[in-house]
Amino acid sequence: MNHAAEIIAHRGASYDAPENTMESFELGLAQGADAIECDVHLTQDGQLVVIHDPTVQRTAGVNKAVKDMTLAELQALDAGSWKSPDWRDARIPALAEVLDLLPTDRRIFIEIKAGPPAVAPLQKVIAASALQPSQMVLMEFDLETVIAMKENFPAIEVLWLNKLPRLQVPWRKKRALHQILSTTRQRGLNGVNLQNTPLLNAALIRACREHGLGCYCWTVDDPRRAAALAKNGINGIATNRPGWMRKQLNATGAPRS
């Protein structure tokens, strides 16, 4: 039976608009994404800011680390022209701004990239937000950080991000995957968010369910792959093209989430 997977706008509608900007998130929601996904770093003045890379070189043309700049300095940068001159007014948003954008019927997946020091500022931002706990999903690659987030935000879904092991020996792959799922469950986390690789198959998705865990993945821009993942029971799929992906899945008869 086909499963209605959430369509998650990866860094917003990042195929069409500059990633991790308000314009990209607004477009992703307008295109019908069930959720948006963003990346969060910590600024020099202790603010949570939405940007993927540790520096602003790629998206704003300045060779400087996010952690060495204040929020005001970051928001003075042009974060859109790298995509197209039409986006020259796009800026780097604070996490609080992005949370304020979210309608009551959508969700946001927040990837923390600053480690444990981000937890205390995150508490302040979430406490000041009008969003319900069910609208937010927190995630990180660092196990220490995801454990700390679950301890501090017990009502919010917390996922362990994982790129999956690149192992050639089958029994080692199986053992490594079992260890990921066992650790996730034992630490009281809600699920995993896994890289889109051939290892992410029906058996692994089924194993997540058997462990009582949610299973999400990034990044999928191939509608055939997305349809197969949905059929196998994936909970959510992050894509750079949420509107286009929705149309393609509708054409295949995949159920709407």
Strands 214-218 and 236-239: parallel
Active-site pick, 3, 41, 52, 178: 52
In a domain, 200, yes or no: yes
Is-contact 217 237, C-beta < 8 A? yes
What whole-number distance in Å separates Cα of residue 224 and Cα of residue 26?
Answer: 26
Provide the CATH number for the domain around residue 119. Answer: 3.20.20.190
Let me know the angle formed at the C-alpha of 218 by 215 and 224, rounded to the nearest 5 degrees.
90
Is-contact 191 157, C-beta < 8 A? yes
Lowest mean pLDDT among 28-32, 113-117, 170-174: 170-174
Average pLDDT, the chain: 95
Mean pLDDT of 156-181: 86
pLDDT of residue 167: 62
Q: What would the two tokens of residue 36 be?
A: 């948006």
Q: What would the two tokens of residue 127 be?
A: 């406490």
What whole-number distance in Å separates Cα of residue 91 and Cα of residue 177?
Answer: 39
In a domain, 1, yes or no: no
Active-site pick, 3, 10, 41, 178: 10
52 is catalytic: yes
Tell me the residue type at 76. Answer: A
In a domain, 224, yes or no: yes
Name the residue range of residue 220's domain.
Answer: 6-251
In a domain, 230, yes or no: yes
Least Cα distance to 157 among 142, 140, 144 occurs for 140
41 is catalytic: no
Residue 16: other Cβ atoms inside 10 A? 19
DSSP state, residue 55:
B
pLDDT exceeds cutoff 80 at 3? no
In a domain, 240, yes or no: yes
In a domain, 256, yes or no: no
DSSP state, residue 52:
S
Within its chain, how far is the Cα of 51 from the centroid? 12
pLDDT of residue 154: 98
Give the count of domains, the chain.
1
In a domain, 146, yes or no: yes
Let me know the angle formed at the C-alpha of 83 by 104 and 40, rounded to the nearest 5 degrees.
45
- pLDDT for 67-120, tens place per residue? 999 999 999 999 999 999 999 999 999 999 999 999 999 999 999 999 999 999
Sign of the alpha-carbon dihedral angle for 52, 54, 58, 64: positive
In a domain, 247, yes or no: yes
